[in-house]
Structure 1
Amino acid sequence: MIEAKYIKRDLIFKEAGGTSRGTLYTKPSWFIQLRNEHGKIGIGECSLIPGLSIDDLPSLDDKIKDVCLHINDYIHTYRETLKAFPALQTAIETALLGMGNANAFEIYKSDFTVGIESIVINGLIWMGDAETMLQRIDEKLKQGFTCLKLKVGAIDFDQELSLLSHIRNKYSSEQLELRVDANGAFEPADALNKLNALAEFQLHSIEQPIKAGQINKMKELCRTSPIPIALDEELIEIHSVEDKVKLLDEIRPQYIILKPSLLGGFVAADEWIEVAERNKVKWWATSALESNVGLNAIAQWTYTKNNPLRQGLGTGQVFTNNISSPLILKGEQLYYDSSQKWDSPFE
């Protein structure tokens, strides 16, 4: 028999996080702890991004309560019965994996979890006014990052072009890889014009230039854009392998972005990888504003995939009240220092 309990924590941003969907000051996470009859514990995080996560419902707290009350049923059925709650699926999957390993936070044992190897990540630049963004970029470069991801689509487009021009005048594409993420901010009618304007700055890729669900328009953009396109929000709520195959066959993107908390966990993300690689679509993994608990699980899973691209796993540093963990950043390398202790969200 397994017992379950949960606790909610609002994570507080060190600096307001600007996206094209608005500014974030806090975000909620629920932590679920499972304990088996031998006393082994696993902990998973149900992390929401307000306005994006489909779990972002008034009924979520009641659903988590119900899951914890009937956990011995849900551990066998959650992949099917909780499809409307992908972050909750991820929490249960993570907790089950941790409960079955040496300790609650060892999700996928590897050379990463024993501190031998690292994961190379990109730096994330939140939206802000041009001066603030330039300051953040300079800080990231001083820290040793050679790949930065910038959010675009929230401030004036000409200002964004000016910012990118300033960056490229200082740093060539050989010195600095630039990725941009529009979060669906461009209107379909002028998206290609904007992509053509952005192409001048030798960008690695652009994530989700237009809102998800516009299949024919996105397909056309992927065919005609001078910048490689990465699907992100487009993958949310696509559950069956058949539908995953259909989406990638229709749109034919250059990249997909895998955020397990938005997709239903690691088994679901593995399905996307299999379909993508069969279609010669490249991918990388990204955390979705999880605390260190969720980030740890995603990082451990990501390492096992041997993906050569820089991963989007740096968001654990953005909160003032994060959970202390062995995850450490040295330049652009994410390490797991197993000599460091975890704080449990339940203590």
Structure 2
Amino acid sequence: MIEFIKRLPKAELHLHIEGSLEPELMFRLAKKNNVTIPYESVEELRAAYDFTNLQSFLDIYYAGAKVLITQDDFYDLTWEYVLKCVENNIVHTEIFFDPQTHTERGIEFATVINGIKQALADAEKQYGITSAIIMCFLRHLSQEEAFATFEQALEFKDDIIGVGLDSAELDNPPSKFTEVFKAAKDKGFKLVAHAGEEADYSYIYEALDLLDIERIDHGVQSINSPELMQRLKDEQIPLTVCPNSNIELKVFDSYDEHNIKELLDYGLNVSVNSDDPAYFKGYMNQNFINLYENIDLSEADVIELVKNSFRSAFISDELKATYLAQVDAAV
């Protein structure tokens, strides 16, 4: 089964590029850019990846991002993830980036997007990997700050397919960002939002009804509302679930408590993704393998999860059909 998982072509729809910053690259860039990080070694840094909740992770996540300074740094960061895509047989990826994490430090928006964009362009040339870029607003900041970032993004509209919402969920509901998401929709951006990870399922309702999003990132708390479960099933709204992340951030105490199988069996459009894999102990294949080894996940379940990722991608129907045929061929 593990070899079967590795063999299947996959799409990744929930990946924070800053969250793919491996300790080795972090130390290398810190040295190059003369940035001090509060760890003496790669081993000490990895040992710090013992999170108690989302905020404890974000503290290290934002500290690590400080080493990213130049366009080449963002290229190198993205290229290392591209190589992980090759290793994990990810043939299409839609990556998140957090411009505010960088512009607040004085890094130009263009520096960030151009480094990421060039690496993804090279990935398609060299490996045939297709991709899209989604810009996320940091929900612990204000809507006014989100609007300022949105205005910067308009110059790069052709490079950014959508906008999302991430960072600390608790006490930062989707309703806080209603107007900026309306502006993004008016400009033709695809809309996604993190909701229902740590906060309750009411955040999912807000994301759907107030932000008018097309995909829910996480969404595992939907299990607590029969009415919401039925709506998600009827409308086939995608949930981009991140199992390793949910375990590492204590959304579930253990893998055998994870509800992805229950969501799938109910008929929801769920997929498997790696979120911040450098911090959460594994990329796409490892998330699948951990599920298989800890819950009753069948070969048919794996196939459905993989196909859901392509069905939910922001790509043409023709490309979806091509990728789904590749899955069938691999099976």
TM range (shorter): 0.3 to 0.5
Higher strand share: 1
Higher helix share: 2
Task: Name which one, 1 or 2, has greater alpha-carbon Rg.
Answer: 1
TM-score, normalised to structure 2, is 0.47
